Amino acid sequence: MKLGVFDSGIGGEAVADALRKTFPGAEVLVVNDRANVPYGGKSPETVLCLTDAAIQSLLASKCDVIILACNTATALAIDALREKYPAQKFIGIEPMVKTAATLTRGKIVAVCATSATLASARYKRLVRDYGAGLRIIEPDCGEWASLIENNLMNRSHIQKTIEGVCEQGADVIVLGCTHYHWIKELITELAAGRARVIEPSEAIGRRVKTLLALD
């Protein structure tokens, strides 16, 4: 089995690591587009163009599945890529609004994501379908991906944000950008038991199994 993983930057490595643990016999190929990272502030047309160009090596390698390990690329490009490459299986990553809705007790959740993801039609559809009755807090995390990519993120950059959403009553924090997976432990520490922190690494593995009928 050959799995391709694409992300704009280093976030895809975290997803690839999880896939290697789930599928130890698989070949996992990873590509990124660090020359153009972050994607969060770019137009939909630019994100589609960059994503399409970046995955060409994965298409040429005939991956069984290509995982867009980038919430922004999923939100803005995956539908067009599926239409352009109908024979290729794709898996995207989206903010886990549906899961958060099942986990929250206080009906208040925080979604940490890029501005492009939050503005996308795909995200708004998730909120419409699964966010009824929820108060969804969308803190400004616009600089996080760039800071993480350049190894400049520190505790002070996120403490105010996490404290703020917890003080507003959020009991689930959704990490809606794979870059943020690298700081999940710190976010969990800062939440200090007040909120559960979730991201889709395990769900991706389950989706691969379903898509390739491995169970």
178/207 same-domain check: no
164/175 same-domain check: yes
141 is catalytic: no
Above 90 in pLDDT, residue 145? no
SS (H, E, C) 71-125: HHHHHHHHHHHHHHCCCCEEEECCCCHHHHHHHCCCCEEEEECCHHHHHCHHHHH
Domain count, the chain: 2
13-69 pLDDT, tens digit each: 889 998 999 999 999 999 999 899 889 889 999 999 999 999 999 999 999 999 999
Q: State the Cα–Cα distance between residues 49 and 67, nearest whole angstrom.
A: 17
Q: State the Cα–Cα distance between residues 153 and 160, nearest whole angstrom.
A: 13
List 63, 112, 141, 177, catalytic entry: 177
For residue 190, the domain's CATH number is 3.40.50.1860
Q: How many residues does the chain have?
A: 215
Above 70 in pLDDT, residue 215? no
**pLDDT confidence of residue 53:** 97
112 is catalytic: no
On whether the CB atoms of residues 34 and 9 are closer than 8 A, the answer is: yes
List 63, 70, 112, 166, catalytic entry: 70
Domain that holds residue 155: 97-198
On whether the CB atoms of residues 8 and 34 are closer than 8 A, the answer is: yes
126/192 same-domain check: yes
pTM of the shown model: 0.88
173-189 pLDDT, tens digit each: 999 998 898 899 999 99
